[in-house]
Amino acid sequence: MQDRKPIRWLTRTALLLAVALVVQSLRLGGPYGQLITGSIINGVIVLAVSMVDMGAGIAIGLLTPWVALVTGIMGLPFMVPFIMVANSTLAIVYGLFKRRHRLLAAFLGALAKYGFFVLTTNYLLSLFGKQLPPPAVATFGTTQLGTALIGGMLALFIADTITPAQRGGGQ
């Protein structure tokens, strides 16, 4: 019998990516649009690491900002690579610590993502001759910490409510 792991990986990753892209495509505006969309996308990244593997979370974290750019959702094209790295940081840190303590892993992943954005907005952008307006600095600061924390908690709740059989036995 043929090994089905690659097919299972691709199917699960694609399904979670589809969820993230649907939420992103809603283009929720208003005062809570970024909070809702960002929290769900961060949640999908953490859920992908929980239910598939770290590579799935990284893949989703890399693709969502790029899709936001090409569909016109993202208004700051020079930030896309930084968002991709920040999303990957969330996936990697959560993935490295999830076996020890999932809640702590979600917190550390959110903190690492936030830390990368603080580093980016305060130092890295100036190396490239770019600067963010003050509202955008807030968007890539504490707002990101909040959405990553909420997303992590949302992902842990969903992962805990899905039975092992529905998860594929955790494989």
Locate the domains of the chain by residue range: 5-167
Q: What is the pLDDT of residue 167?
A: 59
Query: Can you tell me whether residue 156 is helix, strand or coil?
Result: helix
Return the half-sphere exposure (C-beta side, CA atoms, 13 A cut-off) of residue 118. 9
Q: From 1.10.1760.20, 3.90.230.10, 3.30.70.940, 1.10.3720.10, which CATH number describes the 5-167 domain?
A: 1.10.1760.20
CB atoms within 10 A of CB 97: 18
Q: Each residue's pLDDT tens digit in the chain (171 positions)?
A: 467 789 999 999 999 999 999 999 999 887 789 999 999 999 999 999 999 999 999 999 999 999 999 999 988 899 999 999 999 999 999 999 999 999 999 999 999 999 999 999 888 888 888 888 888 888 888 999 999 999 999 999 999 998 665 655 544
Return d(Cα 97, Cα 18) in angstroms, integer: 26
What the block records as the tokens of 139 is 């968007």
Q: What is the pLDDT of residue 29?
A: 82
End-to-end CA distance of the chain: 17
What the block records as the tokens of 145 is 């910490």
Q: What is the pLDDT of residue 1?
A: 47
The answer for residues whose C-beta is within 8 angstroms of residue 42's C-beta and 6 or more apart is 87, 90, 110, 113, 147, 148, 150, 151, 152, 155
Return d(Cα 30, Cα 164) in angstroms, integer: 38
- Return the biggest CA–CA distance within the chain: 58
Return d(Cα 13, Cα 21) in angstroms, integer: 12
